[in-house]
Each structure stands twice: as structure tokens, then as C-alpha cells.
Structure 1
Amino acid sequence: MRRRMAALVAPVAALGLLLAACGGGSGGGNGLQDAGTQSVKSADINPQPLDKLKDGGNLQWPIDLMPDNWNYHQVDGTVADGAYIEGAILPYVFTQNSDASVALNKSYFTSAELISQDPQVVEYKIDPKAKWSTGRQFSWEDFAAQANALNGKNKDYQVSTTSGYEDIAKVEKGTDEQDVKVTFGKKYAEWKGMFAPLYPKELNSDPGMFNKGWAVKPEITAGPFKIKSIDQTGKQVVVERDPAWWGEKPKLDTVTYKVVERSALPDAFANGQIDFYNLNNDINLFKRAQADSNAVVRQSNNPDYTHLTFNGAASSILADKDLRLAIMKGIDTVTIAKSILGQMQKDTTPLGNHLYLKGAKEYADNSGPYKFDANAAKAELDKLGWKQSGDVRAKDGKPLKIRMVIPSGTPISQQTGQLLQSQLKTIGAQLDIQQVPTAEFFKNFVNVGNFDVTLFRWLSNSFPIDGSKGIYYLDPNNISQNYGHVGDEKLNKLLDTAAQELDDTKRAADINAADQEIWAIGHQLPIFQSPGAFATRKTLGNFGSPGYANHPYDYLKIGFLK
């Protein structure tokens, strides 16, 4: 099951079915080639002009779970599946492109611009045609109410994040009700990621409404689609075209979101019950999709990667930074990726960045000094006093035994752990794998630092500082998502600098400087980025593997071929 998302970056247990530990072979009927022989697209969605698509149709969309709350900004509502549905019925100021850049959503706004840098002031101009389902026009009061709810000052609002909103000094009316001016008390570089989605002021009016008012259903919408039905018993949500929509008419009549167990996805697709599914890094599902005459496998750089988190707390054997770096050099991530992903992996180069993933135009490989080199790892362990003694090195009588915690019943994690075990044995380190109940994995182990190393996935997006600062910033009073307690003041300052740099080019340089420091302190080791493989019905146009362009999906252009 997909773990509940933080507002912008989310940890996910590395769940999956049993994988074949082999690659190679031909790509089969879908034209895929062996690993490493094809470039990876920023998106693979079967792009089609709208006149090639049918007017109408129902897209059947599998989800892992029903939202517990339709307010994405409330702590129970911050889930990926909920965000996918809300993208069809609610406004976003900016939308993500496949290469991680963003674009103004002109269905709702005529402009959104930084009009002053000191103080930072952003002006939003709302399209006068934009109306909520109540008939009320969007106004500056919607922005003011959302900022007030999410700024963290009133603890009765159970918010999933205060990022950006806590830096707002005031929201005020401009020249008219549809002119919004937001003044920041502290500079906030990634302001384009805010108000995503934007909710009506009625939701944010008081904590009770914010926390529980939309727990059953969205009470007010404003999108190309509206809610047709929500079936909690059958675990299904249907949205339909909203005749009050003022923008470009969507091609689809309806979208049906239905909960489908991951193990049942291939059969559901074969039986016509769903129109696509995420292959979730499973080579067996990949091969089955290739063999399905109604399916095509679409792949792109996906903002989702598997990594090792190291524990730098005093209680862990890996508290020593130099030991963490030596261990990192003993891990061959390319071999692991090939073994797990097989022919799904088109790009066989290691993932060399924690903040910008492949597919983002600002991506740079900063891993140079820390790449796999078993001989260098052995030499550094010798230098640190970890001397070979039989199969396992020791220092001051203490063996080099590292405890790796993974969730039970997760074959991908198990297979990765076994590969790591073999590689670390080569350099004289013993990896002891502890499998724990999946329900306890985050709560009782990861979140509280009860591990030496652990393995899971991060889901990312177009705003690396807002989404990742909590992972890498070291604050003894607020661990946030820095589960390994690894960090230093230099990294904190680099992250702070990037968070307040309003120039996009300079900020990208600052973010890459911060990533270099993340490598230097041995914080985490990226293992592989998801190959972004989806089984998609051949008749679908403008849909498939979207890269970063999933926040929200472009519902206006999705449709079935004529």
C-alpha cells in the first residue's frame, strides 16, 4: 500500500510482488529494447491532437485506497490517490510539466507574478470566469482563508504542512476581488508550489470545517469534472463533466476511480475493469503487460526512487561519517538496479542526486567521489581501524555488523537486502536483515530511528527544497523526516540559502551545492530511480507515464482514440 504522503515528498515502503532477478531479453511486442539501449523520455503518454480523440468515454483508474478526507491539506487527506482525484475537480495555480518545470494554470488565472523581491510580493490575477460550484466567483478571500488555515498559528487546524504559508505576512485585496496580493515576511523561493490545490474560503473558515467538514465528500468544487458518486462500500468514486465548467471541454465523459489490490491489477486490466496500472518496479508484471495484446508499456523518468537511509545517531554503529562513506563505496547500485528491474531499466547510470531526480532539467550527478569502488572501500575501512578478522572486520573488539530493517512480505526489499548483504560481505561488513511487520515499519522503526540502515522509497515533485528540506535539515528539536539524524550546520545553511533564493538559476546552483554536502556527510544512498513503467490501454491518448506531469494530470486532454 502507498504510504500517506507528506505534502510534497513522501516515504513509501518498497512494496512489490516477487521479482525475477534477471534482465536482458528483447522488449517483446511493445518495442522495448534491452536495458541501457534506449534514452528515457521525460514523458511517455501517446501524445495526440484533440481531433484524433473520441468525444466521450469513461477512464477506469485503479487506486490503492479511498481518501479519508477530501481536504488534501488536512493531515488525513494528504494521500496520493486523493490528489489524483482532486486534480480533476479543484484548481491548482501552477501545474507541473514532465521535466519538472511548472506552468501557470490559465484555466483559472490570467497571471501570477513576483512583483517585488524585498519584501517579496506575489500578485495573482484570477480569471473572472472562475467560479466555485456554489456560483460564487473566486476571490482574494479564498487565498487569505487558506493562508490563515495553513500558517501554523492556530494549532486547532490539523495541517499536513505549513511550508510557505508560515512565511506569509499578509494577504490582501488588490484592485478588485479577483486581484490577490500576497506579501511574505520571509522570502520563500518555491512560492509557485503553493495553493495547490486552492480550496474555497468556506472550507478554511474554521478548524472544525477544515478538519472534518470534507471527510465524507468534497462539498464545493471548481474543475472540468465534478463528483457524480462516492461509494464507500464498493470503494469507488466517479467524476463527470461539469456543465458549469467555463474552460476547454474535456474529452472524457467520466473517470471512475476504483480500489484494486495490486496483486489483482493485471487480471483487472485483462478483464476490462481498468484501463492502466502502475507496474511498481515489478519485472513479472512488466513481462505480463508486454504479452497483453491490448496493452502498451509506457515509461518515463519517474520522480520516485529507492534509497538507503543511514542512521548517524550515537546509538548506531554508523554514527561515524567516514564509516558511512566507506560503506557507501562498497555498494554497487548499478548491479542492484539491474537485478531488481531487469529490462525495465533503460538508463543504467547510477542516480547521482537526492534533490533533483533524472528528468528534471536541473539534475546533475554529484556522486563522483562516492561511487562504487570496493578496493577503495576496503582501504578506507583499514584506515579507520576496522581490520579484517575472518569474514567480518572488527575494531576494538567490536565486529562490523550493521542492522538493516525492512518490512516483511516485501520481496523487492528482501531481494535488495540480499544483494546488499553479498556486496558488503566482500568488503568485510556483515549486514543483518531484520524483517518487521509492515504496519510497524514506519511507526516503530523508521520514524524513531530504530535501525542502522533501512530501505524505502521517496516520492518527489517539482519543488525540491519545500519537499525535501525536512529530510536533510538537522534540528535536534524537530527531527521531521530526518530519520537517521544525519546533518550538519553547513548543510542547514545551504538549504536555508536555497529556500530563500528567488532567482531560479541561482537557486538551482544552491540546491546542487546542498546535494553535494548531502553526499559528503553520508546521509543517504540512492539505489535506483523508478523506471516509471505503466501498462496502458493502447486506445488511450495523452495518458500513460507522465514523468513529473502528475500534479495535477491534464484531464482536459486525456481521451480514447477514434
Structure 2
Amino acid sequence: MSHDGVTLRAIMRSVAFLTAGALAVPAVTGCGSEDPAGKPLAGQDIAPAARALVADGGTLRWAVDAVPETLNTFQADADAATNRIAQAVLPSMYRLDGNGRPQRNPDYLESAKVVETEPKQVVLYKLNQQAVWSDGREIGAADFAAQWRALSGKDTAYWTARNAGYDRIERIERGANDLEVRVTFQRPYADWRSLFSPLYPKDVMGTPDSFNDSARKKLKVTAGPFAVTKVDHKGDEVVLTRNPRWWGRPAKLSEIVLRAVPREKRADALAAGRIDLAEIDPEAAGRVTLADRAKGTATPLQGPNAAAALRSWAVANGSDEDAADEEITARERRHRAVVRYERQQRALGGFEVRKSLEPAYTQLALNGADGPLADERVRRAVARALDRKELAKAVLKPLGLPAVPVGSHLALSGQAAYADNSGALGGQDTAEARALLADAGWVLGGPIEEKKEKEKRKGEKAAGGEGKKAEKDSPDGDEGTYIVGEDDKAGDEDKGKGESGGTHLAQDGKQYANKLKQGGAPGAYAPKGTAAPAGAAAGPLAKDGKPLTLRFVLPSGPGSRSLNTVADRITRMLRKVGIRTEISKVKDESYFKDHIASGQYDLALYSWPASAFPATDARPIFAKPVPAADGSLNVEQNYTRVGTDQVDQLFDQAVATLDEGESRGLIRKADARIWAAAGSIPLYQRPQLTAVRKDLVNAGAFGFRTPVYEDMGYLKKGAKPAPGASASVSTSDG
């Protein structure tokens, strides 16, 4: 799970009150009709080139967020870098294709199929006869069995983060020969293809001590095109070198160096030649694109800055010696900054931006544990107030990516389980949102506890000033809190703002009244009963003496600009139906632990990765919270605290159904009910922007597809990649 700029994953949403159980779910498409899964909204962008055009040798320096704390993907502190290393050095029985669907990996697996269903499900794996570990031992049943025992959950001495699927296995045994592995399940398991990817050697999985400790800092035995030769936490890098025992197509690169570089420093690192490939934010992408386009254009001190430069010259050459000295020093600093910027831009001209959509989506989470959002009608009203197309457009259109809202919580367009089930909740409808709020008892101009509300407003205004100041001081925002929609009498506050939002233009009532006494503006008064203009903010809603105000928690660190843009639009949409929003910006490192996971929020934006196996991987995200033995609430990964028995039952049925079509239908039904419960609202698929050295091929924005590490490399002199250019990216981030 992640929000734009922050990653956290254990690798790793009618006026009458409608319950999810009472909802009429749209009919699931039958086998004979058109597949609702569709196609991916964007393909991978990797500058594909035939292996014959790729030079032998070379080093790829690849930016990662951090050197991983563990190389064991099944531990709780595994991260994206852990997975990247595992993909390059360990066996995976299946890997994802361009549609995000699992495909057999022929380097390790000749075949795998269900050979028995009665009395129990049996899967027979036939391994590639050339597949061996780096110590020369054949990959076989002993490795499969060791991994099953470690991850089954039966032995708590193994510090595992997940055991889904492995807990359904009854036994693993050798087949007719050493290359066959028979896996017998005690309960049917539809997602059996998710298992043994990656596969660790029995040396790692064989004992709790080896599982817990030996694979954290090193992997002595591997079986991929690369091997781990160095993990340097002090030097912030992991070195992978070509595996001489690899039986598949030889790796083109001799070395891959995974180098830890913070995202806000990656443009500088690219320009300095420290990295060759890095996922970047829209601002850095704009710099790379501009460097490729703008050769010979004006420097930052030309054009619009000419007047400022003239004033600077006048001060520096005036009679005030102190002011002149300060100005000369400032001019020298500016000159050095300009020279440094121009030098970096020239260096960035050797890179290009390759872009796709990440296999993850950003959602608006609604905390249904308590407060106003515990009422499903209020959650549904929030959802009906949102124009998801506009939100997707704000982030993706400036990048030249398809701005299509995500229609499922459980899969993305192109994946087998995908279908747009958003109709179970309904689209944007301001009138319906207001009706739902009224039905829930939130009424326009309702009585508010005067004394408490007056004190609260004082605090809100003070916090609002700090929040606005922080926004002004920092383009990414800073820590602070402010209230959106404070002036209930203001008209359409969107007027006068740019498309990307900006400072909220609430008017002070006394100042406004004074202006009217002085004559005011024509049309300032309207006859009683005149309808509010389209898009105008609604008045305050109240219930039981309290206003309807939701706390919207956002990260404040680098990379959060897109989220803040989306949040600004959401607050304006909610304001139109009478919902006020209190925005709290918190530090990245505390965002999930102290706010999302602990339930200290009403609204929040964060992302979930898409899985090819939603019946297994998505269940804990949407499972109904249950009381634990100690009296606390066990929410698993369901941070919205919204769940239903029906959704749990559909997941259970889907994971136990071996008919793939039937299993997909059950997943789609579960998704429709998740939409109806309105605990989370999928907004858009996240953009994937990657800066890549121009001569580096078969690498970049991978989209759904698992990277093919042995094919990455640098073009031979004079060679050109296949057509399918990497398009440029706008400098705007929406």
C-alpha cells in the first residue's frame, strides 16, 4: 500500500438507507458475452530491442528508495527493493504479462496443472531439467516442501508476514522423478499459481533461524540470471552480478547496482551521472523532457526576469554601499545557481522519460469506524459528490496518460477479474448526495451549539492561517491544519482560481458588509428565493448541534503534490453538498502508522497495488473487522473499518472455486458490494514515470509486466530500438 510519495507494503474502498446486503448487484457477464476485463489503459514503455542489438556487458545503476532491510520477501519489513532483487535472483514459477495476468515461466517450469480434484486438489509441477541453484544442486521437491512448512503458519517460530495459500496445503512430495513435485491441498485453492513465486532454497526456509536471519542481509544460494554479491547499507547500494550458472538466455548486463536515492534528489543524481534509471515525480519528468526539447533556449534570467535583473543592476550600482554589496553577493549566488541548473539540464539531455500506468490505484478512504462516516448514507453521499473523471484528469491528463477512473477495487483494466462495478454506487450526483445527507439527519442551517462552535471556529481559523501559510511557503505543502469551506455565505469559491487549485478565498463577513454599505457591486443582492448559481457552495449542515466536518489527513513530504491537488478538488466537491473539510498535513513517516493504520482520520488518500490473485491478496484489505480476544478490533489491512459478511463470504467462495470463470464472477460480485458499502472510492491508476538513459533498452516503465532482467542492456553502437517512442511529458503536474 502506498500514497504518492510514501510507500508501505508487507510484500507487499437513493435517498433510502441501503445496506450492502440489500443491494441489487449488477448481473455478472456470462461466459458467452464480451469480456468486461478490457485491455490495459497503457502498455509498458521500455524501448524494446532485440537481444542481437544489445551490447554484452555494462552496468545499470538503478535508483531505489532504500537498501532493503531484508532480502526475504516473506518478512514484514520487505519492500519494493526486496521484490526487485528477488525477481532478478530467485525462481518464480509464474510471472505477470502485459495484461497483469500470471503466465508460466519456462525458465523454471515446463508445466503445472491441476491433475486431481477429488477427493482433494492436486497440482503437479514439472520443472525445467536445467534449473539448478547456484551451488549446483537441482531445484526440486525439497525446496517446495521447506517453503510450505515455513509459510504454513503452523510453526510460530517462523517470523512470517503472510501465509495465504500455503496454509491450505496438506503435503508436498516428489513425483515420478526428481523433476516432478506433487502438491496436495487440504482445501480447494483457486489461486494456486500465486505460490512458490519467488521460491527460496531449502537452506533459507529449512529452519526458523535460517528463515528469520540468514536471508536478511545476504543470499548465498540463488537461481536467477543475476546473483547478489554485495549489500552495503553504509554505501546505500546492492550489487547484482551476472550468474555464471544461469541456464537461460545469458544476461546482457554484467552488473546491476541498486542505489538508494531519495525521490526528491533523483533529478540531481541523474544529472550527476550517479544513476541510469529512476522512477521520478512529474516535476522531475518535466525537467528531463524540457532538457531534451529546449536546447539553446533562454536561461532563467532572460525573458520575464529581465525587469528583476535590471532592478538588481540598479541596486548593485547605486550609492548605498551596503545594499550594493548585498545585491552583488545575491547576484553571484543566483549566477552560480543558474550555471549549475544549465549544467544539469545539459546532462539531463541524455535521458528520456518512459511512461505508463503503475499496477496500483489511488483511492479516497473513508473511515467508517465512528463519527459521521459510520453512517453508510454519509459515506455514499461523499462518494456521490465526487466527479472521479475530473480527479483522474487532474493527475493524468497533463502527463499524456489515459485519464480513466478505476472501476474496481480488486483489479485493474486488462486483468482477468476486472469489471467496472462503480454502477453499484452510482456516479456524481450533487442532488442525490444532498438527499442522502438529509436522510441521515444532516440538514441545512441546523442548530449548532453556539458556545462550543464559536470556540472551535476560533481554533479552526488560527489553524487555517497556519495551514495556508505553510502551503504558501512550500510547493509541496508543510505540516498544518486548515478548514475548507469556513465561510458558509461565500459563493462559488472556485472562481478566480487556477485549474490546480490554490488559496481558499473565504470572505470575512464584516468586511463584506462594509463594502455593501459603501455601495457594493451591481448585482450583490438577489431577490429572496433566488436559486444559488450552479456549483455554488452549500450552506453548513448540522445534526444534534454539531456541524458536518470531516478530518482529511494528507502527507506533507516530497512527492505529495499530486495528492494535494486531488485533495483540493475533493474538498471543493464536498463543499458543494455542504460537507466541510478540515485538512491535516502530517509527516510522511507518521502518515500510515499514526493515522491510517490507527484510524486517526475521516478521509485519506493512499494507494493499493493490484494483484493477479485478488481472492487471496485483497481479502484482508476488505475483510469485515472483528473483535480480538483483548477487546481491540482486528482490522487486518482494512484501514477503512468498513466490511460486510456478504463480501467475506464471496471472497471465501471465490478462493475455493477451481472453475476460473466462476471464481472471477464471484470476485466481481464482491467488488460491487464493496462499492455499495462506500468505504473506499477508487479514483485513478497511478502514473509511472521513469527517467532512463537513452541508449538503455528493454527497461523503463514496465506497467504490469514483470521485468525481464536478462534482456536489459545498452544498445550497440549505431543500433536503434524498435519503434514505439517514449512520448514527452508536460511540465505540469496537474
Q: Structure 1 length normalisation: TM-score?
A: 0.90
Match 1:502 to one of 658, 665, 678? 658
**Residues 98-109 of structure 1: pairs in structure 2 closer than 5 A:** 98-109=98-109
Answer yes or no: is the 8 Å Cα contact 1:404–1:451 preserved in 2.
yes
Distance apart, 1:235 and its partner CA = 0.9
Distance 1:461 1:288 in 2: 32
Question: In the alignment, is residue 399 of structure 1 matched against residue 455 of structure 2?
Answer: no
**Residues 252-263 of structure 1: pairs in structure 2 closer than 5 A:** 252-263=253-264
Amino acid at match of 1:235: D
Paired position in structure 1 for 2:138: 137
**Residues 506-521 of structure 1: pairs in structure 2 closer than 5 A:** 506-521=662-677
Paired position in structure 1 for 2:213: 212
Amino acid at match of 1:115: V
Question: In the alignment, is residue 448 of structure 1 matched against residue 504 of structure 2?
Answer: no
Amino acid at match of 2:563: S
**Residues 516-555 of structure 1: pairs in structure 2 closer than 5 A:** 516-550=672-706, 553-555=707-709
Distance apart, 1:345 and its partner CA = 4.9
Distance 1:85 1:533 in 2: 21
CA deviation string 1:37-65 (max 9, x = no partner): xx943222222211121122211110111
Answer yes or no: is the 8 Å Cα contact 2:282–2:689 preserved in 1.
no
Paired position in structure 2 for 1:482: 638
Paired position in structure 2 for 1:298: 354
Distance apart, 1:240 and its partner CA = 1.3
CA deviation string 1:262-287 (max 9, x = no partner): 111112222332222213xx332221
Answer yes or no: is the 8 Å Cα contact 2:54–2:714 preserved in 1.
yes
Distance 1:222 1:2 in 2: 32
**Residues 56-71 of structure 1: pairs in structure 2 closer than 5 A:** 56-71=57-72
Question: In the alignment, is residue 375 of structure 1 matched against residue 431 of structure 2?
Answer: yes
Match 2:567 to one of 417, 439, 444? 417
Find the residue that maps to 2:711 and give its secondary structure. coil
Distance apart, 1:5 and its partner CA = 1.9
Distance 1:135 1:453 in 2: 54
Paired position in structure 1 for 2:279: 278
Distance apart, 1:117 and its partner CA = 2.4
Distance apart, 1:362 and its partner CA = 4.1
Distance 1:486 1:4 in 2: 20
Amino acid at match of 2:107: S
Amino acid at match of 2:82: G
Paired position in structure 2 for 1:31: none
Question: In the alignment, is residue 556 of structure 1 matched against residue 710 of structure 2?
Answer: yes
Distance 1:363 1:537 in 2: 34
Paired position in structure 2 for 1:227: 228
CA deviation string 1:101-149 (max 9, x = no partner): 1111111121111112231111111222211122211110100000000
Amino acid at match of 2:585: Q
Match 2:10 to one of 3, 6, 14? 6
Distance 1:438 1:296 in 2: 29
Distance apart, 1:516 and its partner CA = 0.6
Residues 1:444 and 1:357: Cα distance change in structure 2 (over 3 Å): same
Find the residue that maps to 2:670 and give its secondary structure. helix
CA deviation string 1:487-511 (max 9, x = no partner): 1111111111111122222222221
Paired position in structure 2 for 1:28: none
Find the residue that maps to 1:302 and give its secondary structure. strand
Paired position in structure 2 for 1:21: none
Distance 2:210 2:587 in 1: 35
Distance 1:73 1:136 in 2: 23
Amino acid at match of 2:242: R
Distance apart, 1:326 and its partner CA = 1.0
Distance 2:404 2:96 in 1: 25
Distance 2:546 2:187 in 1: 49
Answer yes or no: is the 8 Å Cα contact 2:396–2:403 preserved in 1.
no
Answer yes or no: is the 8 Å Cα contact 1:4–1:80 preserved in 2.
no
Find the residue that maps to 1:530 and give its secondary structure. strand
Answer yes or no: is the 8 Å Cα contact 1:101–1:360 preserved in 2.
yes
Distance 1:505 1:232 in 2: 47
Paired position in structure 1 for 2:615: 465
Amino acid at match of 2:710: L
Distance 1:480 1:50 in 2: 45
Question: In the alignment, is residue 245 of structure 1 matched against residue 246 of structure 2?
Answer: yes
Paired position in structure 2 for 1:84: 84
Paired position in structure 1 for 2:95: 95
Match 1:320 to one of 364, 375, 378? 375
Amino acid at match of 1:505: G
Distance apart, 1:82 and its partner CA = 1.2
Distance apart, 1:328 and its partner CA = 0.6
Distance 1:305 1:395 in 2: 34
Match 1:354 to one of 409, 418, 422? 409
Distance 1:520 1:484 in 2: 14
| Identity value in percent | 35
Distance apart, 1:361 and its partner CA = 4.8
**Residues 48-63 of structure 1: pairs in structure 2 closer than 5 A:** 48-63=49-64
Amino acid at match of 1:457: S
Distance 1:311 1:395 in 2: 19
Distance 1:538 1:437 in 2: 36
Distance 2:687 2:10 in 1: 22
Answer yes or no: is the 8 Å Cα contact 1:122–1:183 preserved in 2.
yes
Residues 1:534 and 1:358: Cα distance change in structure 2 (over 3 Å): farther
CA deviation string 1:361-411 (max 9, x = no partner): 542211124222223212322333321125321123231111122233343
Answer yes or no: is the 8 Å Cα contact 1:227–1:238 preserved in 2.
yes
Q: Structure 2 length normalisation: TM-score?
A: 0.69
Amino acid at match of 2:353: V
Amino acid at match of 1:404: F
**Which deviates more, 178-187 or 429-438?**
429-438
Task: Provide the alpha-carbon RMSD of the alignment.
Answer: 1.8
> Can you give the 5+ residue segments of structure 2 that lack an aligned partner in the other structure?
13-39, 293-349, 446-487, 489-538, 629-633, 717-734
Distance 1:142 1:554 in 2: 24
Distance 1:487 1:345 in 2: 36
Distance apart, 1:334 and its partner CA = 2.5
Distance apart, 1:173 and its partner CA = 1.3
Amino acid at match of 1:88: A
Distance apart, 1:68 and its partner CA = 1.0
Distance apart, 1:537 and its partner CA = 2.1
Amino acid at match of 2:597: N
**Residues 109-124 of structure 1: pairs in structure 2 closer than 5 A:** 109-118=109-118, 119-124=120-125
* Greater Cα radius of gyration, structure 1 or 2: 2
Distance 1:273 1:373 in 2: 50
Answer yes or no: is the 8 Å Cα contact 1:286–1:344 preserved in 2.
no
Distance 2:220 2:684 in 1: 41
Answer yes or no: is the 8 Å Cα contact 2:397–2:403 preserved in 1.
no
Distance 2:171 2:657 in 1: 20
Distance 2:246 2:268 in 1: 36
Question: In the alignment, is residue 439 of structure 1 matched against residue 438 of structure 2?
Answer: no
Paired position in structure 2 for 1:329: 384
Distance 1:4 1:434 in 2: 20
Paired position in structure 2 for 1:19: none
Answer yes or no: is the 8 Å Cα contact 2:405–2:684 preserved in 1.
yes
Answer yes or no: is the 8 Å Cα contact 1:316–1:451 preserved in 2.
no
Answer yes or no: is the 8 Å Cα contact 1:312–1:486 preserved in 2.
yes
> Can you give the 5+ residue segments of structure 1 that lack an aligned partner in the other structure?
9-38
Residues 1:377 and 1:345: Cα distance change in structure 2 (over 3 Å): farther
